[in-house]
Structure 1
Amino acid sequence: MRLLTHNMLSSNMKGVSNGFPLRIEVEKVVEKQVDFNPDFLKNMFSKVHWKALADASRIMGYAELPEEADRSMLDSDDFLRKFHHALLELHLEEGALVCPETGRRFPVNKGIPNMLLHEDEV
């Protein structure tokens, strides 16, 4: 699961008012090379919750992103490459996503998060 995906997921359990961002529990991280596309990154920047991305990348062992970012940084090739690596090349292969409010764990196996809810959680 890419951090791009993580940045768009939240816990939709019944009664949860703040299910974002899901906390990451890491068992295995893999890096998969993806072609660098600065235009895609510039378009995605406004859609990404930066703090959630920066925190998640640190949890997955990548501490190169700044705590805060703004659009002016998109002119830097160095920044774009770090953003690209965190957003698209880091993959949570095995682990879990945890609801920040309830502690409910959603397993991630072979890079696929299982966000299915039990009947009593809907």
Structure 2
Amino acid sequence: MRLLTHNMLSSNIKGVINGFPLRIEVEKVVEKPVDFNPDFLKNMFSKIEWKPLVDASRTMGYAELPEEADASMLDSHDFLQRFHHALLELHLEEGALFCPETNRRFPVNKGIPNMLLHEDEV
């Protein structure tokens, strides 16, 4: 699971008001190269919740993103490379995601998060 995906996921358990961001428990992280596309990154920047991305990348062992970012940084090739690596090349291969309110565990196996709810959670 890429951090791009993580940044878009939330817990939809019945009664949960704010199920974002999901906490990450890491068992295995892999890096998978992806072609660098600065236009894609520039378009995605405004859609990304920055603090959850930074926190998730650090949980996965990558501490190269700045604490805060703004659109002016998109002119920096170095910033775009770091953003690209965190967003698209880091993959949570094995681990879990946790709802911030209920602490409900959603397993991640072979890079695929299982977000299915139990009958009483719908």
Q: Name the structure 2 match of 1:119.
A: 119
Residue 68 (1) aligns with residue 68 (2): yes
Structure 1, gaps ≥5 residues long? none
Aligned-partner Cα distance in 2 for 1:68–1:101: 25
Aligned-partner Cα distance in 2 for 1:115–1:26: 17
TM-score under structure 2 normalisation? 1.00
Q: Percent identity?
A: 89
> Shift of residue 96 of structure 1?
0.1
Aligned-partner Cα distance in 2 for 1:56–1:33: 19
SS of equivalent to 1:47 = coil
4+ residue segments displaced more than 2 Å:
none
Task: Please tell me the residue identity of whatever aligns with 1:113.
Answer: P
Task: Please tell me the residue identity of whatever aligns with 2:85.
Answer: H
> Shift of residue 37 of structure 1?
0.2
> Shift of residue 42 of structure 1?
0.0
SS of equivalent to 1:25 = strand
Structure 2, gaps ≥5 residues long? none
Aligned-partner Cα distance in 2 for 1:76–1:98: 34
SS of equivalent to 1:117 = coil
Q: Name the structure 2 match of 1:47.
A: 47
SS of equivalent to 1:92 = strand
Task: Please tell me the residue identity of whatever aligns with 1:34.
Answer: V
> Shift of residue 36 of structure 1?
0.1
How many residue pairs end up in the alignment?
122
> Shift of residue 70 of structure 1?
0.1
Residue 12 (1) aligns with residue 12 (2): yes
Q: Name the structure 2 match of 1:106.
A: 106
SS of equivalent to 2:26 = strand
> Shift of residue 72 of structure 1?
0.1
Aligned-partner Cα distance in 2 for 1:107–1:47: 25
Cα-to-partner distance string for 1:16-68 (whole Å, 9 max, x where unaligned)? 00100000000000000000000000000000000000000000000000010
Residue 57 (1) aligns with residue 57 (2): yes
> Shift of residue 6 of structure 1?
0.1
TM-score under structure 1 normalisation? 1.00
Aligned-partner Cα distance in 2 for 1:58–1:73: 20
> Shift of residue 77 of structure 1?
0.1
